[in-house]
Amino acid sequence: MGRLGWGRHFEGLAARLDGAFGADGLFAHDRLRFVDFVDDVEDLLEEVARQEGGDEEAADDFEEFVLRHYAGDSG
């Protein structure tokens, strides 16, 4: 993100997503529901789109896409 000039948007990202992953790098299902995590990431993407003058709607389908992908529903 830093190479794209977006580093300033992610200064507090680690703190905002703290606890989402364990020390082994795996998602911590026992600490956070995956759907809540995906919703938070979508919110962050929409925030970046607003700050960059982009299209918030482009990030709006992120949650639906990820949940359908991991639920195995391709349609």
Report if residue 13 sits inside a domain: yes
Residue 8 φ/ψ, nearest 5 degrees: -60, -25
Residue 1: inside a domain: no
In the predicted model, residues of the chain with pLDDT beneath 70 are 1-16, 72-75
The pLDDT of residue 75 is 47
User: Residue 55 has what pLDDT?
Assistant: 73
* pLDDT tens readout for residues 5-16: 666 666 666 666
Q: What is the pLDDT of residue 4?
A: 62
pLDDT at 41: 83
Does some domain include residue 14?
A: yes
37 part of a folded domain = yes
What local confidence, expressed as pLDDT, does residue 14 receive?
65
Distance between CA atoms of residues 39 and 6, nearest Å:
20
